[in-house]
Amino acid sequence: MMIEKIYCADVKPKMEGERVRLAGWVYRKREVGNKVFIVLRDSSGVIQTIFIKDLSEDAYGKAKQVGIESSVIIEGTVKSDPRAPTGVEIQADKIEIIQNVEFFPITKDASDEFLLDVRHLHLHSPKVGSIMKVKGTLMQAAREWLLQDGWYEVFPPILVTGAVEGGATLFKLKYFDKEAYLSQSAQLYLEAAIFGLEKVWSLTPSFRAEKSRTRRHLTEYWHLELEAAWMDLWDLLKVEEELVSYMLQRTLEVRKKEIEEFRKDFTTLKNSEPPFPRISYDEAIDILQSKGVKIEWGEDMGADEERILTQEFDKPFFVYGYPKHIKAFYMKEDPEDSRKALAADMLAPEGYGEVIGGSEREDDYNKLVQRIIEEGMDPKNYEWYLDLRKYGSVPHSGFGLGLERLVAWVLKLDHIRWATLFPRTPSRIYP
């Protein structure tokens, strides 16, 4: 059964006099004298409907008793009227109540905490809808760009046996009589895939069992990862900036209305055209020290440092050339400075910070074994991964983008959890 209907947003003043049928949910209800105003909501937006007692006593009576967020089908005639919120309304003579809602738990005074408790109902909200539309459009744009640039989409496993990040915590689970983990990155598998497909990408959930209580961490998030043969770090940065720029520009075109609900100033988004500034880790340390931040070469930048740094830019930027010892084992050592790794992060401006972490990968068998041992891990656990450096090894690079982090910046969200349907944090797995 597909209900024949038109969307709220498609009702235009020029349709004056046309008879229409709408299906959706009661967004607002106001009773005044012999009239009931129902603002109807659907996935496209809202429109006001008006029930006049003299016009249809039956419909008026039903409209009067229907509750907020009830599901209804309304029929009536289009009237353009400046008093209606959208300049046009439906003079309704028929309402079918699919399910009446006596009272909807979410009212205007809901706290963030409560909204998360009833997230399944919070998804009724047009504002949540706008976030999800923007997220979907960002990925839609990413797919467009990746397709035209010749990248193959692949579908890596989520059930895995080992860690990518040395110290990162994995969710452990029983796999028959063995132990397995939820993947925290598809990277290792993508690296394997480039030997057949050269340029690959995937969008997968990634899981981190870290008790990170911050506004930029989730235990489950959507990870957009790219991996390519024959690319060095500098080739990779070009891919990153072109991809992210396309995602942003396209989303600005398609979702301007939704973005405006969250941010007034589009400057940083519009600025996000290649090239993005590239600063070295050394320069970043200099900038921070000149701002009076106590940080020495070799230390990793903390959240505060990152925030200060992002305020120096009005578009995303790269920090490259991190000290090797603060980066992951698979990153290639800088041949010109053995203290450094050929790694770069992309940081979003306006205090948002890291959205991408990427690097050239170590492609030399012996060096990779040495790095694994240095990190206190056992090369035996990485046998298949090491094989990739024994059978036709190639220089290659790749990166991972945290989709929710990008959404959070684009919409200036105060917390990454609003950028996902059902956020999972250390203390929340329900609903």
Contacting RNA within 291-330 (CB under 7 A): 300, 302-304, 306, 326, 328
Given a contact cutoff of 8 angstroms between Cβ atoms, the answer to whether 236 and 338 are in contact is no
Give CA–CA dist 234/255, Å, rounded: 31
The nearer residue to RNA, 254 or 415, going by C-beta atoms, is 415
Which one-letter amino acid corresponds to residue 334? D
Q: Return the axis-axis angle of helices 126-148 and 403-410, rounded to nearest 10°.
A: 120
- Interacting stretch for RNA, rule CB under 7 A, among 150-158, 218-226, 246-254, 389-397? 218-226
Nearest to 385 by CA among 375, 372, 402: 372
**β-strand partners of 317:** 347
Cβ at position 135, least distance to RNA in Å? 13
- Asked whether position 116 contacts RNA by CB under 7 A, the answer is yes
Please spell the DSSP secondary structure of 197-228, one letter per residue.
HSEEEEEEEEE------STT--SEEEEEEEEE
- Asked whether position 147 contacts RNA by CB under 7 A, the answer is no
- Interacting stretch for RNA, rule CB under 7 A, among 96-104, 121-129, 131-139, 232-240? 96-104
- Judged by CB under 7 A, the residue of 22, 48, 51, 189 near RNA is 48
Within 8 A by CB and 6+ apart from 209, the residues are 169, 170, 171, 219
Cβ at position 177, least distance to RNA in Å? 27
- Judged by CB under 7 A, the residue of 223, 324, 340, 371 near RNA is 223
The nearer residue to RNA, 199 or 217, going by C-beta atoms, is 217
Q: According to CB under 7 A, which residues from 384 to 403 bind RNA? A: 400-402
Given a contact cutoff of 8 angstroms between Cβ atoms, the answer to whether 222 and 416 are in contact is no
- Asked whether position 185 contacts RNA by CB under 7 A, the answer is yes
- Interacting stretch for RNA, rule CB under 7 A, among 1-9, 79-87, 152-160, 284-292? 79-87
The nearer residue to RNA, 61 or 196, going by C-beta atoms, is 61
**Tokens at 287, concatenated:** 């900038």
- Asked whether position 416 contacts RNA by CB under 7 A, the answer is yes
- Asked whether position 355 contacts RNA by CB under 7 A, the answer is yes
- Judged by CB under 7 A, the residue of 42, 227, 334, 404 near RNA is 404
Cβ at position 183, least distance to RNA in Å? 12
Cβ at position 273, least distance to RNA in Å? 21
Cβ at position 176, least distance to RNA in Å? 28
Long-range contacts, stretch 219-222, CB < 8 angstroms, 24+ apart? 219/171, 219/424, 219/425, 219/426, 220/420, 220/424, 221/402, 221/403, 221/404, 221/405, 221/416, 221/420, 222/402, 222/403, 222/404, 222/420
Strand 88-99 with 159-160, pairing: unpaired
- Judged by CB under 7 A, the residue of 131, 134, 188, 218 near RNA is 218
The nearer residue to RNA, 207 or 246, going by C-beta atoms, is 207
**Tokens at 190, concatenated:** 């993508």
Q: According to CB under 7 A, which residues from 8 to 47 bind RNA? A: 28-35, 37
Tell me the three state secondary structure of residue 122: helix
Count of C-beta atoms within a 10 Å radius of residue 37: 18
The nearer residue to RNA, 217 or 255, going by C-beta atoms, is 217
The nearer residue to RNA, 114 or 313, going by C-beta atoms, is 114
Give CA–CA dist 103/96, Å, rounded: 18
Cβ at position 207, least distance to RNA in Å? 9
Give CA–CA dist 343/319, Å, rounded: 8
- Judged by CB under 7 A, the residue of 210, 282, 312, 350 near RNA is 210
Give CA–CA dist 166/168, Å, rounded: 6
- Interacting stretch for RNA, rule CB under 7 A, among 61-69, 120-128, 150-158, 360-368? 61-69
Q: According to CB under 7 A, which residues from 235 to 264 bind RNA? A: none
- Asked whether position 283 contacts RNA by CB under 7 A, the answer is no
- Judged by CB under 7 A, the residue of 4, 113, 177, 265 near RNA is 113
H helices of 206-353, where? 233-254, 256-260, 267-271, 281-290, 303-310
